[in-house]
Amino acid sequence: MTELDITFGDEQALILETAQNFARQNSSPLGVRKLFGSDLGYDQAVWRQMAELGWTGLVVPEAQGGSGLGAGDAVSIVEAFGRHLLASPLVPALLAARALAECANQHEGAAQCLTKIAAGSIATVALSEPGQGWNLRQPSCKAERSGGGRIALSGRKCHVPFASVADAIVTTVTFEGSPQLLLLSRSDIPPGALRREICVDESQRVFRVSLDGLTVDARGMLPARESGIEALIRDATLLLTAEMCGGIAGALDTTLEYLKTRKQFGRLIGSYQALKHPVVDIYTHYELLRSLLYGAATAAGGDKAWRLTQMAKAKASDLFVHAGDRAVQFHGGFGFTHDCDAGLYLRRAMWAQSQLGDGAFHRCSLADQLLV
Amino acid sequence: MANAERELSGFRKDVVAWLTANTPKADFLLPQTFMEVGDKRQFDFLRDWQRKVYEAGYLGMAWPAEYGGRGMPQAFQDVVTQEMVRLRTPFMMNTIGLQWAGPLILHFGSHEVKDRYIKRILSAEDVWCQGFSEPDHGSDLASAQTFAERSGNGYVVNGSKIWTTLGPYADYMILLARTDRAAESKYAGLSFFLCPMKHEGISVRPIRKLTGEFGFSQVFFTDARIPATCLLGEEGQGWHFAMQTLTFERGAKGGQAGGPSSTNFAQADDLIALARRMKKNGAPAMDDPLVRDQLMRLIIDDTALQLNPRRQRVAALVAERPLAIPLMNKLVGSEHRLAVGRFTASLLGPEAALYVGDPDAVDGGKWLRGYFNAFSSTIGGGTSEVQRNILGERVLGLPKS
């Protein structure tokens, strides 16, 4: 890997500062727990503020009322959300917008949808399929022409965020033998086609979506682009990694707070090296991860940025689980209770590691690219 | 800005051309770092090389011209250092002078002191060593017992220092010694000396290391009378100067003369080449999924270590804990090199039985020697365990252990 660098301008620095303050003010472990019981899974007032800040339109082209920035520019926002466990449909909306932005000039439906996303309409993406593992580039869901300008769909998607409230879903399908993107609107999917999944991370609102038997307007097919799904996977991996990096910082916050206040055997437990040293090791590797993350976020796209993203996702997967695991352990008996915030991060880590490829998966993929 | 970049890239070409034409080849096994210089032949070779680099204008480029530097922007020296690392030239042997004592003297020394020492550090006319650790006080520097007693216009030194790299060859030592046993704290009783080594009452005994090499030593002071002008600053400032020295040593603060302190033979490309060459169950080790996984782990951390200093330059990305990256450099870098050492040893399979000296040892035994040598930086300059305490307490705000 040559020419490694991190460039970060004033605009990015401003986004980062705004996002950190916003997440700190608008989310707390207590608030997250309150949302556990709600069907919606997020706070609509907070979502409206995000739209007012321009974040829902961050990657929407200027012609559709957005800022026209890239996925890398959203990293600091998503990272801050991860640290404070802020639940919102922002990431799926950003991903849907990124996929649609590529064809805004050629596809009227995409352009209209982008305008709505910038204004705060909810959109999401459907990448995963039951039983297909992390092989996301060859969807088993199918779309076939069925006459009258309609296409017939088959197959199932899983872990689709906020599918029940999304006005639009960008889904991967195999259409006439080639992997492509399809834009579905809410009216295309009957309520019976959705089932809310019980996710290990209780703050997630993820759904199974059955496409079997559905026929939709063929104009929903987005212009065929070889790189469409690839770009979506890369953006999704980058933003998930950003959320995980923030999550590790959150797990550390929780652990450090406890180590500085809890006393045993007459001493603050943070003075014991058996606890201090493992926490420092998690922390230093978190800092290394953060350098990879921002290296990936600010690299100008392409294969180099993707390799850095994969490196970051690999490291984040292992480190987040380890940070959550140690956070639980270092809270002692309290750590084993559902009330302890360490568990929020461990559950988030288990979810995030399982999505878009774990550590071993990305190291294997990187090895095939770099160790030829 | 574009002009400056053009100037630097032209400069880089000149440097590469000069290094390519002038780097000497040794017909014997060179040490891996400045801590393993074990015989006169190695020492002379490395001293000549450093002088040659200095005379070509490629060392101490950012140091003041009046003391022998060139007063140029640091970026030029960084280019030279990067290219020396990349081309794997022999290292700059006078590391303690160039990277630790030199910047300390430049920061805190009087005009006379700078005038006397700085240029001779760059040219390697004076080789420096460090006298901090003592036999009974490894990581606990503040408990140093070597005593310098004021006597007339000088000090009489008694005691012993250990792990003294380059001790047998050194002309000067940065010496941490106690001048006041009754001071209000153990820290306040310490003073800092620029002490001559070729001196009556000072003797050096080489110590053999884990690797089998010599390179450091124990130094004995027996009624060694040194002039009062050897004192840096004032009595009682020893702890302050020692901490400043460690800041330079650990790379947490800039101002070093430049040039590498070791010859890196285990970069990512070297590991990949070794994994291709070694066999595992009859096939290249590189085909083994576990080997590939481990290698990628190391390459990922190596990449992150390269990106850390880049991020450090972006204030917004280090705002929360600005000291973190400078203070963690040594811990993560040295632990990474140790992990690389273990990995290379594992690649050797049954060949890992043979060591330096055996005619059939893989690559002359340098992989195992490299693994053993990697402990020098997880232990020297404050062990990894001490570093974790520093990070835990100073960066994360945890209570003292």
Which amino acid, A192?
Answer: G
* pLDDT band at residue B5 using 50, 70 and 90 as cut-offs: confident
CA–CA min distance A277, chain B (Å): 6
Give the amino acid at B162.
I
Give the pair of three-digit tokens for residue A110.
């995409």
Structure tokens at B282: 């009859």
Residue A23 is predicted with a pLDDT of: 97
Question: In this predicted model, what pLDDT tens digit does every residue of A117-133 receive, in sequence order?
Answer: 999 999 999 999 999 99
pLDDT band at B29 (very low <50, low <70, confident <90, very high): confident
**For residue A310, pLDDT beyond 80:** yes
3-state helix, strand, coil in chain A (%, to 5): 55, 15, 30
What does the pLDDT look like over A72-109, one tens digit per residue? 999 999 999 999 999 999 999 999 999 999 999 999 99
d(CA A287, CA A293): 10
For residue A2, the model assigns a pLDDT of: 53
Distance (Å, rounded) from C-alpha A88 to C-alpha A64?
A: 22
Contact A345, A247 (CB under 8 A): yes
Q: What percent of chain B has pLDDT over 70?
A: 99
The minimal CB distance from A280 to the residues B303, B325, B391 is found for: B391
Least Cα separation, residue B11 to chain A (angstroms): 18
Residue B1 touches chain A, beta carbons under 8 Å: no
pLDDT digits (tens, 9 = 90+) for A186-208: 999 999 999 999 999 999 999 99
- A131-169 burial, b at 16+ Cβ within 10 Å, e below that, comes to ebebebeebbbbbeeeeeebbbbbbbbbbbbbbbbbbbb
- pLDDT at A29 (0 to 100): 86
Q: Do B275 and A277 touch (CB under 8 A)?
A: no
Q: What is the DSSP letter of B259?
A: S
pLDDT of residue A3: 74
Interface test with B, best of A288, A294, A361 (most B CBs within 10 A): A288
**Calpha distance A198→B116 (Å, rounded):** 74
Q: To which H or E segment does residue A152 belong?
A: strand A150-154
Catalytic choice (B36, B134, B213, B249)? B249
Nearest to B219 by CA among B165, B155, B277: B165
What tokens appear for B69 in the block? 């530097």
Compute the distance between CA of residue B294 and CA of residue A369 in angstroms, rounded to an integer.
Answer: 15
Residues whose CB falls within 8 Å of the CB of residue A131, separated by 6 or more in sequence, listed in order = none
B contacts of A245 (beta carbons < 8 Å): none
Is the pLDDT at B134 greater than 70? The verdict is yes
Among A151-160, A246-255, A285-294, B208-217, the least confident range: B208-217
Q: Which residues of A touch B391 (CB under 8 A)?
A: 280, 283-284
Segment among A89-98, A233-242, B12-21, B257-266 with least mean pLDDT? B257-266
For residue A216, report the phi and psi dihedrals to the nearest 5 degrees: -135, 165
Q: What average pLDDT does the segment B95-108 reach?
A: 97
Look up the pTM and report it. 0.88
- DSSP per residue, B269-323: HHHHHHHHHSEETTEEGGG-HHHHHHHHHHHHHHHHHHHHHHHHT-GGGSSS-TT
What digits encode the pLDDT tens for the residues B176-191?
999 999 999 999 999 9
Compute the mean pLDDT over every residue in chain B, rounded to the nearest whole number.
94
Please state, as a whole number, how many other Cβ atoms lie within 10 Å of the Cβ of residue A79: 27
- Looking at residue B1, its pLDDT comes to 52
What gap in Å lies between CA A186 and CA A146, rounded to an integer? 21
What gap in Å lies between CA A270 and CA A272, rounded to an integer? 5
Q: How confident is the model at residue B138 (pLDDT cuts 50, 70, 90)?
A: low
Q: Which of B285, B289, B293 is CA-nearest to residue A360?
A: B293
- Which of chain B's residues have a Cβ under 8 Å away from the Cβ of A319? none
- The beta-carbon neighbor of B304 closest among A256, A279, A288 is A288
- Tokens at residue B312, please? 């450090």
The answer to whether the beta carbons of residues A257 and A270 sit under 8 Å apart is no
Question: What integer best gives the mean pLDDT of chain A?
Answer: 96
pLDDT at B266: 79
Average pLDDT of the residues in B136-159: 90
- Residue B139's pLDDT band, with cuts at 50, 70 and 90, is low
| pLDDT of B250 strictly over 50 | yes
Per-residue pLDDT, A196: 97
Contacting residues for A339 by C-beta, under 8 A, at least 6 apart? none
Checking if the pLDDT of B42 tops 60, the result is yes
Compare CB distances from A276 to B275, B332, B392 and report the shortest one's residue: B392
ipTM, two decimals, is 0.96
Q: What are phi and psi of A176, to 5 degrees?
A: 50, 45
Contact flag B388-A277 (C-beta cutoff 8 Å): yes
Does B128 have pLDDT greater than 50?
A: yes
Range of weakest confidence among A67-71, A299-303, B158-162, B319-323: A299-303
| CA angle, residues B195, B196, B201, in degrees to nearest 5 | 100
Question: Is the pLDDT score of B51 beyond 50?
Answer: yes
Res. A138: pLDDT tops 60: yes
User: Where residue A224 falls among pLDDT bands split at 50, 70, 90?
Assistant: confident
Each residue's pLDDT tens digit, A317-358: 999 999 999 999 999 999 999 999 999 999 999 999 999 999
In chain A, what residues touch B398 (CB-CB under 8 Å)? 256, 259-260, 270-271, 276, 279
Taking a C-beta distance cutoff of 8 angstroms, is the pair B380, B373 a contact?
no
Distance in angstroms (rounded) separating the CA atoms of residues A331 and A257: 10
Judged against a pLDDT cut of 60, whether residue A1 lies above it is answered with no
How many contacts does A have with B, using Cβ atoms within 8 A? 134
Instruction: Tell me whether residue B249 is one of the annotated catalytic residues.
Output: yes
- The residue of chain A with its CA nearest to that of B332 is A284
Query: How many other C-beta atoms lie within 10 A of the C-beta of residue B254?
Result: 12
Beta-bridge mates of residue A168: A123, A185
Q: Whose CA is closest to A308, among A291, A324, A296, A299?
A: A296
Sort out which chain B residues have CB atoms less than 8 A from A16's CB and list them.
316-317
